Amino acid sequence: MNDYQLIVIGAGPGGYTAALRAAKLGLKTAVVEAREAGGTCLNRGCVPTKTLLHSSEAYKAATASAGIGVHVEGARADMGEIFAYKRHISQTLSQGVESLLKGAKVPLLHGRAQITAPHAVRVTASDGTAADYTADNILVATGSVPARPPIPGLDLPGVMTSDELLEGADHLYQSIIIIGGGVIGVEFATFYAELGCAVTVIEGMDRLLPNMDRELGQNLALILKKQNVQVFTSSMVKNVEKTADGFTVNFTTKDAPNAASGEAVLCAIGRKPYCEDLFADGLAPEMNGKSLKVDGRYQTSVEGVYAIGDVSSRIQLAHVAAAQGVACVEMLCGVEDHTNMDVVPSCIYCRPEIAVVGITDAEAKEQGIPVKVGKCVMGANARTLIADPGRSFMKVVAHAESGEILGAQLMCPNATDMISQLGEAIANHMTARQLLLAMRPHPTFEEALSDALNDLCAKLAK
Catalytic residues: 442
Counting beta carbons within 10 angstroms of the beta carbon of residue 148, is it exposed (0 to 12), middle (13 to 18) or buried (19 or more)? middle
Q: How far apart are CA 334 and CA 242, in angstroms?
A: 57
C-alpha 446/C-alpha 383 separation (Å) is 9
φ/ψ bin of 306: left (φ > 0), alpha (ψ from -120 to 50), beta (otherwise):
beta
CA–CA separation, 426 vs 406, rounded Å? 6
Distances in Å between the Cα of 46 and the Cα atoms of 38, 263, 432 are: 11, 25, 32
Report how far residue 450's alpha carbon sits from residue 456's, in angstroms, rounded to the nearest whole number: 10
